[in-house]
Amino acid sequence: MNQLDQAKAEDAFQQFLMEMDDRIEGLQQEAEGYQLNLDMSDSSLDTLEKFILKVWNSKSNPDVKSLAVTCGRYLGEVMTQNHQGRWFLPLDDPKNINFNQPVVIGHGASKTEFAPVSVCRAFILKKTPGLINKAYVSQLSPCKLDLSKLIEPE
């Protein structure tokens, strides 16, 4: 990525952050119209899924990207507010799956990038109940993988 592109990406990320509160407030107001309360708590993530499904089913041609970004903002802010995370824009490794996508870092024990927009996009496309909450919780207390059973005895 050349300097001009990186500067443009960083400007877009700063704009993303500056719009955060207004976009989340709009999301919360829209959710209230469906009698859903998005109160920024960890327990509101099931409600976020209900909201996504209601929006998806109520609009004839919903915009997946816009819905994923809006709901991803909310999901990421729940992580930052409740678990000391912070938004970050990875620009140093073009091979990173989250390259040039807003992620949350510094949260929980995982020490990994949490990609809330991608999580919301996956839920929108798959509609798997509990997907958002499972992705969220896995970031806070990741499981240790036991690979010992995959090692062949000598």
Q: Give percent of the chain above pLDDT 90.
A: 76
| Terminal CA-CA length for the chain | 47
* pLDDT attached to residue 59: 75
- Give counts: helices (H), strands (E), the chain: 6, 2
111 vs 100, residue with greater confidence: 100
- Taking the C-alpha atoms of residue 133 and residue 42, their distance in angstroms, rounded to an integer, is 8
Arch. (CATH architecture) of 3-142: Up-down Bundle (1.20)
State pTM to two decimals.
0.88
Residues 6+ apart with CB under 8 A from 130: 46, 49
* pLDDT attached to residue 10: 95
Rounded alpha-carbon distances, angstroms, from residue 17 to 88, 119, 122 = 10, 18, 22
Q: pLDDT per residue over 38-95, tens digit each?
A: 999 999 999 999 999 999 988 777 789 999 999 999 999 999 999 999 999 999 999 9
- Which is nearest to 103 in space by CA: 77, 66, 137? 77
Report the pLDDT averaged over residues 122-132: 96
* pLDDT attached to residue 144: 67
Domain boundary assignment for the chain: 3-142
